[in-house]
Amino acid sequence: MLPHKLIEQRLQHAVQAILPGSDVAAVLVRPCPDPKFGDYQTNALMSLAKARKMNPRQLAADVTAKLDLRDCCESVEVAGAGFLNFRLAPSAMVQSLQEAARGEHLFFEKTVRPRTVLVDFSSPNVAKPMHIGHIRSTILGDSITRMLRLLGHRVITDNHIGDWGTQFGKLLVGWKHHLDLPALQIEPIGEMDRLYKLVNAAGESDPAILEQSRQELVKLQRGDEENLKIWREMLALSQAQFDRIYQRLGVNFDKALGESFYNSRLQPLVRELCDKGIARESEGAIAVFFKDIPHLKANPALIQKSDGAFNYTTTDLATLAYRLETWLPAEIVYVTDARQQLHFQQIFAVFRRWHPEAKVNLTHVWFGSILGEDGKPFKTRSGETIKLADLLDEAEERAFKVVSEKNAELSEAQRREIARIVGIGAVKYADLMSNRQSDYVFSWDKLLALNGNTAPYLQYAYTRIRSIFRKSGLETTGGGTRNPRLALAATQEIALARHLLNFGLVLEAAVDEYRPNFLCNYLFELAGHFTSFYENCPVLKAESEMRANRLLLCELTARVLKQGFEVLGIETAEQM
């Protein structure tokens, strides 16, 4: 068991003994903010004492007296207002490193309570280019999925593609009257996008075109063969585009049930909500009102428009119900931008009335916008939305220039591959490293910077380790079990080892709050500890035992970095 888990467990038992019946779930340890205090601390005893009007230092002393941590801690001390500081015994730290070296763990443990989680993210639209607005959802959703799976949860990813709706009326008019077939073959998305914009603009000055679009839409919805055929072709062309982007990003979905999949469920759903008295007619539409929910009081949810058509609230409700009956998830996570908060509050509120018995957790993991360096929504110079494919191309191109400068002796193919890993990694990392709820300013110079909290800096730390192993002629240390006398002496060695031990702690926090940036910060600090070690502690030039110890630290650091990157969806290169 990892040392901090062991401490936590014993601590909870001790608290239970001193304060029978108290809720010890919140009695947790975390790394000390400053190593001078120790390795781990708990401040939970202060709040327990407060709630009981006890003397916090006395409580801490009483708990300490009940604690036996001689096998893993050098000292346990009461400090300050009632902190309890734990300093690990060097042997406990070494033991943990050796377990990791033997492959018994990588400083994290799988959950003891695996749950089924459905993650809904990305959701691009048919016949439109994927753009900058899709990137955060895609990358955050993918990383959240990877982290959950690493900790042993069962995850189903479902891409809720926008493949139905009023835009198809205009698209059909465009396709039938203005289609440029050669252009469609070369650049299908661009052509469909052009058709939509063309008809949309024409409709603004000519009501007849709008009427024509409505007619085509109605025909499609009624199952007209010709329109369905065109619609299916638009879907296939779009899916090919999505697949190319997802392949570049290394993102996979278990399911891609678009909005159209739920068409047949919408009318029955509205009828059921009306029959149950949850929804009612209002100004010609069908709406759900929330008189009893203060912040939704002024915001009823429309589930059927006055013209009889359904909207995305209807579809989302049908989708939610389908997912629940199909996969029985304990939780459904929606990864979308902040502007949809009200929408999801409405969806969740309607759903709770509709299925009050359902135990499922519904979570809206929302995120802020990507801004340009002028602080306004990120656009091209001409004011167009930035296409995702172009963004990725530019990232690779810029990375290629840097790699070529720094490492001109590598072959072009090698430099291209490194540029791909660094460029895509940099775009992803920039998105994941900031608090997802803040807007962030997109800057090529910052995300491809070679220092600071960036993908290239972290990837570089990894290549330095790999370089040591190449030079040593060893692939790895071979597990390090042949070095039972592992001892850490230099302060940089100890700082690095201590940080390695906290990987799992951080991973759990990142998953609990769906905040990959916790993991990014951890990896940045790990890379910092490593480079500091690298500068001060020669590895290959060290004498036999010290050399083996240092090689082991290198190997474990590389493994944690690689594993950390992997759950962020970022690749590593052997050299840069």
Partner RNA sequence: GCGCCCGUAGCUCAGUUGGAUAGAGCAUCUGCCUUCUAAGCAGAGGGUCCUGGGUUCGAGUCCCAGCGGGCGCGCCA
- In angstroms, the Cα distances linking 77 to 3, 40, 64, 184 are 17, 11, 8, 72
432-462 in b/e form (b: 16+ CB < 10 A) is bbbebeeebebeeeebbbeeebbbbbbbbbb
Q: In this chain, which of 110, 276, 339, 401 binds RNA, going by CB under 7 A? A: 339
What single-letter amino acid sits at 411? S
Residues 81 and 65: their CA atoms lie apart, in Å, by: 18
Backbone angles phi, psi at 506, to 5 degrees: -70, -40
> Residue 484 class from Cβ within 10 Å (0-12 exposed, 13-18 middle, 19+ buried)?
exposed
Q: In this chain, which of 17, 26, 218, 240 binds RNA, going by CB under 7 A? A: 26
Backbone angles phi, psi at 212, to 5 degrees: -60, -40
Residues 467, 469, 470, 476, CA torsion sign: negative
| Closest by Cα among 413, 429, 401 to 519 | 429
Q: In this chain, which of 21, 36, 275, 277 binds RNA, going by CB under 7 A? A: 36
Residues 129 to 148 in contact with RNA, rule: CB under 7 A: none
Residues 410 to 439 in contact with RNA, rule: CB under 7 A: 418, 422, 434-435, 437-439
Q: Which stretch binds RNA (CB under 7 A): 35-43, 127-135, 201-209, 225-233?
A: 35-43
Task: Write each residue from 348 to 387 as x if it is in contact with RNA (CB under 7 A), else as -, in one continuous string.
Answer: --------------------xx-x---x------------
Q: Which stretch binds RNA (CB under 7 A): 94-102, 247-255, 265-273, 461-469?
A: 461-469
Q: How far is the CB of 427 from RNA (least distance, A)?
A: 15
Q: Which stretch binds RNA (CB under 7 A): 101-109, 214-222, 335-343, 383-391?
A: 335-343
Residue 295 makes contact with RNA by CB under 7 A: yes
- Cβ proximity to RNA: between 184 and 303 the closer is 303
Q: Which residue has the tokens 């220039």?
A: 401
Number of residues that bind RNA (CB under 7 A): 103
- Cβ proximity to RNA: between 468 and 558 the closer is 468
- Cβ proximity to RNA: between 184 and 448 the closer is 448
Residues 523 to 562 in contact with RNA, rule: CB under 7 A: 524, 528, 531-532, 534-541
Residues 484 to 523 in contact with RNA, rule: CB under 7 A: 506, 509, 515, 517-518, 521
Residue 285 makes contact with RNA by CB under 7 A: yes
Residue 293 makes contact with RNA by CB under 7 A: no
Residue 471 makes contact with RNA by CB under 7 A: yes
**What angle, rounded to 10 degrees, do the helices at 188-205 and 207-221 form?**
130
CA 8 to chain centre: 27
- Cβ proximity to RNA: between 11 and 184 the closer is 11
Residues 55 to 94 in contact with RNA, rule: CB under 7 A: 56, 79-83, 85
Residues 515 and 501: their CA atoms lie apart, in Å, by: 20
Residues 405, 410, 412, 414, CA torsion sign: negative
